Amino acid sequence: MLSLLTYSLGAVLYGSPLPLKSIKKWGVLMMYDGLASAVLVSAYSLLLKLGDYFLAVLGASWPNFITWLTGRTTTLVASYLAIQSIAAALKVSGADILVELLKHISSLIATSLTAIKTIYLISTVVYSLRDKILTIGILLYTIPLRMGKSAGAAIVALSIVYYIGMPLMPVFALALESPQPPIASDRYGAITGSIVDVLGNPVPHAVVKFYKSSRDPAIVVLGDSEGKFYVGPPQDLLSLGDEFEVEVAFMGYAFGVDPALVRVPWSGSLRVSNMLYAGKGLSIVFIGILEISSVNLSSGLVVLDLKVLGSEATLVFLKLKPVEVEKILIGVEPISCSWSAFSWGGLEVEECFITLSEGKYIVKVSYFGSYVPRPKVEEKHYVDIGDIVGYLNVIQTTAVSYLYSYLLLPSAYLIILSASSYALSKFLGGGLRLRVV
């Protein structure tokens, strides 16, 4: 029956019957193709589980691969944004000629980012559509007369090799890439610390100003919700040994801090000794000579035990507009406070002044407050251009290293995967040509 079918097919396709030798060859190939197609169709579920099995054996997984890609993307984005910040700082400082070098470095990092995006795209397609791609490959492979066998074998091979091979890319990169050079130069340092009040409690979203030689601050930085701040590479380039005078602004008031002078590098706490942050948008500023014996802070209640040593002292109560002060007691006597409003950093702040003469006092404040939002403050960065050329050379070396690790190595690995896919497709019969004698 098979010989008769082949005989008739040859008559239809070629206008004459096929020779007996060709009939036998066609018969064998059709039987082989039918058997291979049956095996592929039957092993569909097995092929889907085969990739996960090999990945488990090799100690790799798609979640770890995605995490690796995300980490690299974060590194590139952070480096790109850092370079943009340095370029802006250099432009402000008048070193426009060096901005052109930074544009070249930015283009290298942007190219690396494009390569990462391409890998993301390929990975997403392979991971999310693997079963559909494999199904299409098997369907093409099983079309009679080998009409789709080459394409089907290629698609099946791609779905298997890329699903197993893509999560192994980190191992390939780790084996061939060199350690990343540090982005920072050893000629520059940083200032890190936190802003605390008289009790050592953090002051949220305080503005820290650093002065060098003029009355205008050289650096302005905004602290976070825990009072922490950072000044240094990549936004700021501070030479080792540089000294800065420090001032803190909070809720519209400027405060001196201890220490008042810092030298790069520096790390520690800047204490505002004449301000108490009670929490939830309420602060108390102490003006004059006084001694605080004890402070009790609880939810919505402040109790101060203090002594005025001079002829008089003033307590300034600062609160955000949404904060409601229920009552203020000096001893047992309630105090009527006249609140006046002003704006600071886009926030509505209200203040009240209470003057105390010499003596001992217990001050109680009960209130309903909330969190302190970030004020709208324009930060200002500082660049010491004394060794900026050497610093930019370090950044350029890093950018070239990124290009090698994030573009060339992944491209070489994808070529290896493509070659492996082609070899597997050849094993499955893809690309074979039938020559009829």
Q: What is the mean pLDDT of residues 59-80?
A: 83
Task: With respect to residue 297, please indicate whether it lies within any of the assigned structural domains.
Answer: yes
315 in Cβ contact with 353 (< 8 Å): yes
- Do 224 and 319 fall into the same domain? no
Are residues 142 and 33 located together in one domain of the fold? yes
pLDDT for the residue numbered 319: 93
User: In 3D, which of 22, 52, 69 has the Cα closest to residue 410?
Assistant: 69
Task: Please report which confidence band the pLDDT of residue 66 belongs to, taking 50, 70 and 90 as the band edges.
Answer: confident
Band (pLDDT 50/70/90 cuts) for residue 10 is very low
Domain identity same for 162 and 242:
no
The pLDDT, as a whole number, for residue 96 is 63
- Residue 270 falls inside a structural domain: yes
Tell me the CA distances in angstroms from 69 to 81, 166, 173, 229, 398, one per residue in order.
18, 11, 12, 29, 18
Q: Which two tokens stand for residue 296?
A: 């009790």
Is residue 72 domain-shared with residue 120, that is, in the same domain? yes
Q: What is the pLDDT of residue 325?
A: 92
Q: 203 phi and psi, to 5 degrees?
A: -105, 115
pLDDT tens string 362-386:
999 999 887 778 899 888 888 776 6
What is the dihedral sign for C-alpha 67, 69, 73, 75? positive
Residue 87 clears pLDDT 60, i.e. is over it? yes
CA distance 318 to 347: 12
Domain that holds residue 78: 2-181+390-427
Burial of 277 (0-12, 13-18, 19+ CB in 10 A): buried
For residue 413, is pLDDT > 70? Answer: yes
Whether residue 399 sits in one domain with residue 257: no
Amino acid identity at 372: V
pLDDT(437) > 60:
no
Same domain, 354 and 396: no
Q: With 90 as the cut, is the pLDDT of residue 43 above it?
A: no
Residues 6+ apart with CB under 8 A from 16: 10
Distance of CA 369 to the CA centre of its chain: 33
- Amino acid identity at 380: K
Q: Over range 33-57, report the average pLDDT.
A: 61
| Chain segment 184-221, per-residue pLDDT in tens | 445 678 999 999 999 999 999 999 999 988 889 999 99
Here the CATH number for the domain that contains residue 259 is: 2.60.40.10
The CATH number of whichever domain residue 309 belongs to comes to 2.60.40
What tokens does 384 get?
């010491």
**Shared-domain flag, residues 60 and 136:** yes
Closest to 245 measured CA to CA, from 234, 259, 231: 259
Spatial distance between the Cα atoms of 125 and 123, rounded to a whole number of angstroms = 5
User: CB–CB of 197/272 below 8 Å?
Assistant: yes
- 29 with 136, same domain: the answer is yes
Classify 311 as helix, strand or coil.
strand
Give yes or no for a contact between 51 and 130, defined as CB atoms under 8 angstroms apart.
yes
- Determine the pLDDT at residue 7: 43
Task: Quote the Cα angle for 432-434-435, to 5°.
Answer: 130
Instruction: Find which of 45-49, 172-176, 202-206 is predicted with most confidence, using mean pLDDT.
Output: 202-206
Q: Average pLDDT, stretch 150-170?
A: 81
Residue 97 has pLDDT above 60, yes or no: yes
User: Which is it for the CA torsion 105, 107, 112, 113, positive or negative?
Assistant: positive
Distance CA 402, CA 79 (A): 10
- pLDDT computed for residue 260 by the predictor: 95
Q: How confident is the model at residue 354 (pLDDT cuts 50, 70, 90)?
A: very high
Q: Are 193 and 226 in contact (CB under 8 A)?
A: no
- Domain-embedded: residue 434: no
Together in a domain, 263 and 396: no
Is 14 among the domain residues?
yes
Asked whether 385 and 332 are in contact (CB, 8 A), the reply is no
Q: Which residues pair with 302 in a beta bridge?
A: 297, 365
Q: Based on the domain organization, do 37 and 158 belong to the same domain?
A: yes
Amino acid at 268: G
Q: Which pLDDT score is estimated for 20?
A: 46
Residue 252 has pLDDT above 50, yes or no: yes
Query: Can you tell me the distance from the alpha carbon of 301 to that of 326, in angstroms, rounded to the nearest whole number?
Result: 10
CA angle (46, 51, 56) in 5-degree steps: 115
Task: Report yes or no: 195 and 206 within 8 Å, Cβ to Cβ.
Answer: yes
Q: What is the pLDDT of residue 45?
A: 58
- Structural domains in the chain (count): 3
According to the model, what pLDDT value does residue 250 have?
Answer: 95
Give a yes or no: residue 435 inside a domain: no
Domain membership of residue 256 (yes or no) is yes
Cis before 265? omega within 30: yes
**Per-residue pLDDT at 19:** 52
Confidence category of residue 432, pLDDT binned at 50, 70, 90: very low
My answer on whether 25 and 118 are in the same domain is: yes
**DSSP symbols for 285-321:** EEESSEEEEEEEEETTEEEEEEEEEEEEEEEEEEEET
For range 312-321, the mean pLDDT: 93
432 located within any domain:
no
In the prediction, which pLDDT does 148 show? Answer: 63
Give which of 228, 274, 229 is closest to 254, Cα–Cα.
274
Closest CA to 230 of 213, 245, 257, 210: 210
What pLDDT is attached to residue 284? Answer: 95
Residue with tokens 């949404």: 322
Q: What is the mean pLDDT of the chain?
A: 79
Instruction: Give a yes or no: residue 39 inside a domain.
Output: yes
pLDDT band at residue 261 under the 50/70/90 scheme: very high
Mean pLDDT within 252-262: 95
Q: Which pLDDT belongs to residue 434?
A: 39
The segment with the largest mean pLDDT, out of 202-216, 229-243, 415-429, is 202-216
Question: Is the same domain home to 81 and 161?
Answer: yes
